[in-house]
Amino acid sequence: MHAADGLRVDAGDETLGRGLSHAGAMDVLESDLQLFVAQHARAFVFVHAGVVGVGGRALVIPGTSGAGKTTLVSALLRAGAIYYSDEYALLDARGRVHPYARALSVRAAGGGSKVRVPVDRTRGRTGRTPLPLGAVVLTEYCKGGRWKPVRMTRGEVVLGLLSHTVPARERPREVMATLARAVGGATLGVRSVRGAAGGVARALLTLAGGGRSGARLPLHGHPARVRPAAPAPGRRGSGSRR
């Protein structure tokens, strides 16, 4: 809908955005359509998360919009991981993670509107087959933050995924069964705030690659916790940070 100061996007009685450029309006519309699919798709359970493949298993990074998922996924691709998603982890009934490999959604220079960047421009590879869950990382960008990962129990991993699962309220029994199956085979779950993505990406590849061989994970007491998200989020746009 046109407005004097730009475009407005409405969904029923709800205004999703106003004062938008054409590109901004299309981004809001696309995000809302994707969220609708995530809420109503029956073949998969959608979790807000970035996903890469490492050593034949999925490394899943749950997070809200603006937590820095895309930036960390991009750094992981440059470090050698395989691209699966920067927005949703798709879990099937067996708990396997399927690709949702759209172009990366990256903020333009200066914090402007988002642009789509094909994965091949980041020198990354794209996954095509489902993977068992290998690691779950609860993290978000914090200016001046230090990466001090703390191992999580399987219960904490399930709750971390649940807080970012789109249809958690509509299909709680199915969601919990799917998350339990997925986490049952996971080898690693850690949480920590982070600073710049590059060093964290390299550390994550080392941890994920060494998880099954018994690599020791340094524990750091009780660092700042990543803020949990409410299950089944409503409509919103997406974004990324450093």
Residue 186 pLDDT: 74
Q: Structurally, how many domains does the chain consist of?
A: 2
Q: What are phi and psi of 25, to 5 degrees?
A: -65, -40
| Whether residue 32 is found in the same domain as residue 53 | no
**195 and 140 both lie in a single domain:** yes
Give me the sign of the Cα torsion angle 206, 210, 211, 216.
negative
Q: Which of 13-17, 37-41, 232-236 has the lowest mean pLDDT?
A: 232-236
In a domain, 228, yes or no: no
In a domain, 236, yes or no: no
> Does one domain contain both 103 and 161?
yes
Please indicate, yes or no, if residue 151 is contained in any of the structural domains: yes
Based on the fold, state whether residues 68 and 51 are members of the same structural domain.
Answer: yes
Identify whether 167 is part of a domain: yes
Average pLDDT over residues 149-177: 95
| pLDDT higher than threshold 50 for residue 174 | yes
Q: Are residues 16 and 65 in the same domain?
A: no
At 196, give phi and psi (nearest 5°). Answer: -60, 150
Q: Which domain holds residue 206?
A: 44-210
Beta bridge partners of 105: 116
More confident residue, 199 or 31: 199
pLDDT given at position 223: 45
Banded pLDDT at 235 (limits 50, 70, 90): very low
For 2-8, what is the mean pLDDT? 67
Domain-embedded: residue 242: no
In a domain, 91, yes or no: yes
3-class secondary structure per residue, the chain: CEECCEEEEEECCEEEEEEECHHHHHHHHHHHHHHHHHHHCCCCEEEEEEEEEECCEEEEEECCCCCCHHHHHHHHHHCCCEEEECCEEEECCCCCEECCCCCEEEECCCCCCEEEECHHHHCCEECCCCECEEEEEECCECCCCCCCCEECCHHHHHHHHHCCECCCCCCHHHHHHHHHHHHHCCCEEEECCECCHHHHHHHHHHHHHHCCCCCCCCCCCCCCCCCCCCCCCCCCCCCCCC
We report the CATH number of the domain holding residue 85 as: 3.40.50
Are 102 and 200 contained in the same domain? yes
Check whether residue 1 and residue 77 sit in a common domain.
Answer: no
Mean pLDDT within 112-122: 67
73 and 157 in a common domain: yes
Q: How confident is the model at residue 240 (pLDDT cuts 50, 70, 90)?
A: very low
Selection from 115, 133, 114 nearest residue 61 by Cα:
133
Q: Does residue 191 belong to any structural domain of this protein?
A: yes
Mean pLDDT of 146-151: 94
* Same domain as 67, residue 17: no
**What average pLDDT does range 133-161 have in this prediction?**
94
Mean pLDDT, rounded, for 52-68? 92
The pLDDT value recorded for residue 30 is 62
Do 204 and 181 sit in the same domain of this protein? Answer: yes
Q: pTM of this prediction?
A: 0.78
Lowest-confidence region among 12-26, 39-53, 59-73: 12-26
Q: In the prediction, which pLDDT does 2 show?
A: 54
Q: Which amino acid is at 235?
A: R
**Domain check: are 116 and 204 in the same one?**
yes
Q: Given pLDDT bands bounded at 50, 70 and 90, which one contains residue 162?
A: very high
What average pLDDT score do residues 93-114 get? 78
- 29 and 55 share one domain: no
pLDDT above 80: residue 224: no
The per-residue pLDDT of the chain, averaged, comes to 80
